[in-house]
Structure 1
Amino acid sequence: MDRLTRRRFLLASGVVGGGALAAGAGAVTLSRLLDTADPEQRVARRPVDTVVLVTLYGGNDGLNTVIPYADPAYRASRPELAYPEEQVLRLDSDHGLHPAMRGLQGLWSAGRLAIVHGVGYPKPDRSHFRSMDIWQTAAPNGPADTGWVGRWLDETRAPVEAAVSFEPVLPPLLVGRRRVGACVSYQGLELPDWVAPAMVASLGRMQAGESAMQARAASAYADLVDMGRLVREAVAPTASPTDATPVATATGTGGGGALGAQLALVARCVEAGVPTRVYSVSLGGFDTHAGERTAQDALLAQLDAAVTGFVDRMAGTDAGRRVAVVVYSEFGRRVRVNASDGTDHGTAGPVLLAGARVAGGFHGQPPSLTDLDQGDLKATTDFRDVFGAVLGTVLEADPQQYLLGYQGEPLPLFRTG
């Protein structure tokens, strides 16, 4: 292919701009990531080696996720949205899970699911972007230009594969001053039948006289073809009907749309022996201002299938049993239903943890549904008590060094014996 034709192809496909960005700082292909694998796992084995952070973008309604079904204020505040007691998947005499979360109920019964009540931060902000920034930078008292995992990468001088995002873009969580995590999008390139993969691969070869940026962009485009193949191979063992029709994001708050595919890639890396310590995946669409029942039902069903399938798959290997999953959202929703059969931006919400080494059960105090702060729940657990446990147990780091302004005590969320 001559240089002019190749350039026109790249421009027409948008790869010179978008591909160059994808090939920038922090971008790593899946094949390169797998090349770092050590099948013999010759690293120091800890009870919990790896954490998978699952971000639910949009502000998940925690009261209809972990349901306080025995509290009369629950139905009184949201009669249109409250689930009848007989539909709630009971965990104890006071709380139960959303009806779509039967897989997670099974993990609870097996002692592999922990739920932290009322997680938030001081002086809550109801902006999606500011609140998510606080969660990912762990800096509730003011803006910060690094994420809490990024600061750990800086301090430990970790290689790029130490923290990996399988999201469309690299989250602030993994950004440090001198080092960043890797960004490996789960979205490969699907070619039409009439386009041969070999033809696309030829576009990724270096050509004489072209700029370095064009060469990197073309290489990134060819990588997408390879990524598509690797994704299909990774997802096949755990494919589910839910992943076949991913829920689109409801707003511009971000998040991936196929959580099962992202977690399948994490599983592939863990089983191969990739030395990643922190994975970041996401699911978007939780900004349920209107018609919440339908949207959240579908989203929580996808979350349940993806997380349960991943934890069950991880239970099959020694490396997998040392993986913990943490599920959080930027805030919960208001206690009362709004006029559109939805809920507006709130404050505190539950955090879920799953895995073989998780200290199953409830942690923290449930927030009151009647003693509110201008209609919102009062947080009973500082989110840094959760991330502090991740740092201390999984990453063997001092939480106060990486969680800005933190003076608290991490929760005992993991079994270390």
Structure 2
Amino acid sequence: MDTITRRRFLTASGVVAGGAIALGGTAYGLRDILGFRDEERPAGAKTLVLVTLYGGNDGLNTVIPYADPAYAANRPGLTYDPGQVLRLDDAFGLNPGLAGLHRLYGEKRLAIVRGVGYPKPDRSHFRSMDIWQTAQPDRPGNTGWLGRWLDGVGGDPRLAVSFEPVLPPLLAGATSAGATVPGGAVKLPRIATPEVLTALSASAPGESPAQARAAACFADLVRVRDLMADVDASPEDSADTAAPPLDTQLALVTRCIEAGAATRVYSVSLGGFDLHADEKEAQEALLAKLDRPLAAFADRMRNRDVVTVVYSEFGRRVKANASDGTDHGTASSMFLMGGGVTGGMYGDPPSLTDLDDGDLVHTVDFRDVYASVLSDVLGADPGTVLGDWPGRLDFS
């Protein structure tokens, strides 16, 4: 098969469009990660799994201040009654869609950080996500906070892996970048027979290393598809429930960790949280899609040094809008769980009455959380990554 034909096939199949060639040397196949062994990995080194909730998850209907009169007063039609929430204490409870995380909290395995944000918040999805992923609120730069960490540990892309469609900015460094691995639902063209796949994965004269890696990634999709078929059939997954994208991504992370891959950071995501209308049931369903695979992952990783962090680019405004939804806001909550994390609530809850132009005033800077993750999970100096940021939270 000639190079031009193969390139057209890759493009038509969505491999190139999915970022494999566009991201050049950062596109890897699952085999590359499973086979990644690093004898230099420090003994007892922990692994970070970062879960991004795209769209701006409504923090007030996630960690619910059900006992605060201002909660119900500002959100008629969106509030949960005290009898509906999954109680954490006499003032706060979790959304009913988070039964698994509620169990983890009861086992002191889930840390909830309230009131997380940054100074002069921006309500734009893109700008705020840039701020969170670069950890530079004043002026988001061209490097992500974990990309800068990667620069400092040698730059091997396989140390920081994303199972998202394209590499997120947070894994882009100044001199290196993390790896993106094809994931998600695998749908191969009918003509993708074993013979065709063999031809596609073979090297072709005159093509660049990036194009060669893209072809190898395409062949690797078969392995990902077979892996997910095994996962869907496993006892841990119900046979009558289609696996949502986060299930798929976390199943791949599980496969890599249990295979002993030396990767230190995994990035996964779940979108759809920009709920300006008819929010209540839609958000609860989305949180359930987060809860089920995340709680199962936490249980499976219980005896491993794996820490999972969940965040979104911003919360929502305190007052509901006229469409039974909420508009872009500011401070929200973060979740942490896993090795060395002591469960409980951290940070002061933001006031629902002392607002900044209708928005919550943050009580914890997200860089405090990042600094703790860099130090306690990745064994790095937070100052070199976060520009000498002095803050830190202690989750031990």
Whether these two folds match at TM > 0.5 is: yes
- 1:223, CA displacement in angstroms? 2.7
The answer for the alignment partner of 1:60 in structure 2 is 57
Identify if the C-alpha distance between structure 1 residues 20 and 324 changes in structure 2 by more than 3 Å, giving closer, same or farther: closer
Pick the aligned partner of 2:310 from 314, 321, 327: 327
Query: In structure 2, what is the Cα distance between the partners aligned to 1:402 and 1:195?
Result: 44
Query: In structure 2, what is the Cα distance between the partners aligned to 1:217 and 1:43?
Result: 28
Letter in 2 for 1:81: L
Count residues in correspondence: 395
Q: Which runs of 5+ in 2 are unaligned?
A: none
**CA offsets per residue over residues 246-301 of structure 1, 9 Å max, x none?**
3xxxxxxxxxxx11111111111111111111111100000011111122011100
Q: Is the 8 A contact 1:51 1:324 kept in 2?
A: yes
Q: Is the 8 A contact 1:291 1:340 kept in 2?
A: yes
What does 1:8-19 correspond to in 2, within 5 Å?
9-10=9-10, 12-13=12-13
Letter in 1 for 2:249: Q
Pick the aligned partner of 2:256 from 269, 279, 282: 269
Identify if the C-alpha distance between structure 1 residues 5 and 98 changes in structure 2 by more than 3 Å, giving closer, same or farther: closer
Query: In structure 1, what is the Cα distance between the partners aligned to 2:188 and 2:267?
Result: 27
- 1:403, CA displacement in angstroms? 1.2
Identify if the C-alpha distance between structure 1 residues 388 and 236 changes in structure 2 by more than 3 Å, giving closer, same or farther: farther
TM normalised by structure 2 equals 0.92
Q: Is the 8 A contact 1:37 1:272 kept in 2?
A: no
Query: In structure 1, what is the Cα distance between the partners aligned to 2:22 and 2:365?
Result: 35
Letter in 1 for 2:81: P
Query: In structure 2, what is the Cα distance between the partners aligned to 1:8 and 1:57?
Result: 32
Letter in 2 for 1:290: A
Letter in 2 for 1:69: Y
Identify if the C-alpha distance between structure 1 residues 299 and 374 changes in structure 2 by more than 3 Å, giving closer, same or farther: same
Q: Is the 8 A contact 2:233 2:239 kept in 1?
A: no
The answer for the alignment partner of 2:393 in structure 1 is 411
Query: In structure 1, what is the Cα distance between the partners aligned to 2:221 and 2:114?
Result: 41
**Is 1:139 aligned to 2:136, yes or no?**
yes
- 1:158, CA displacement in angstroms? 3.8
- 1:5, CA displacement in angstroms? 5.7
- 1:50, CA displacement in angstroms? 1.1
TM normalised by structure 1 equals 0.88
- 1:215, CA displacement in angstroms? 4.5
Identify if the C-alpha distance between structure 1 residues 212 and 94 changes in structure 2 by more than 3 Å, giving closer, same or farther: closer
Identify if the C-alpha distance between structure 1 residues 213 and 172 changes in structure 2 by more than 3 Å, giving closer, same or farther: closer
Q: More displaced, 293-302 or 115-124? A: 293-302
Pick the aligned partner of 1:221 from 218, 221, 224: 218
Query: In structure 1, what is the Cα distance between the partners aligned to 2:3 and 2:50?
Result: 43
Query: In structure 2, what is the Cα distance between the partners aligned to 1:396 and 1:118?
Result: 26
The answer for the alignment partner of 1:367 in structure 2 is 350
The answer for the alignment partner of 1:33 in structure 2 is 33
Identify if the C-alpha distance between structure 1 residues 17 and 393 changes in structure 2 by more than 3 Å, giving closer, same or farther: closer
Identify if the C-alpha distance between structure 1 residues 44 and 67 changes in structure 2 by more than 3 Å, giving closer, same or farther: same
Query: In structure 2, what is the Cα distance between the partners aligned to 1:116 and 1:211?
Result: 46
- 1:132, CA displacement in angstroms? 0.6
Query: In structure 2, what is the Cα distance between the partners aligned to 1:295 and 1:242?
Result: 21
The answer for the alignment partner of 1:255 in structure 2 is none
The answer for the alignment partner of 1:186 in structure 2 is 183
Q: Which runs of 5+ in 1 are unaligned?
A: 247-257
Instruction: Provide the aligned C-alpha RMSD in A.
Output: 2.5
**Is 1:24 aligned to 2:24, yes or no?**
yes
**CA offsets per residue over residues 305-357 of structure 1, 9 Å max, x none?**
01100001112x4xx2x111110000000001101110000000000111242
What does 1:256-295 correspond to in 2, within 5 Å?
258-295=245-282
The answer for the alignment partner of 1:103 in structure 2 is 100
Q: More displaced, 331-340 or 236-245? A: 236-245
Pick the aligned partner of 1:196 from 188, 193, 196: 193
Q: Is the 8 A contact 2:231 2:237 kept in 1?
A: no
- 1:303, CA displacement in angstroms? 0.7
SS at match of 2:111: strand
Query: In structure 2, what is the Cα distance between the partners aligned to 1:275 and 1:3?
Result: 33
Identify if the C-alpha distance between structure 1 residues 75 and 211 changes in structure 2 by more than 3 Å, giving closer, same or farther: closer
Q: More displaced, 236-245 or 145-154? A: 236-245
What does 1:376-387 correspond to in 2, within 5 Å?
376-387=359-370
- 1:404, CA displacement in angstroms? 3.1
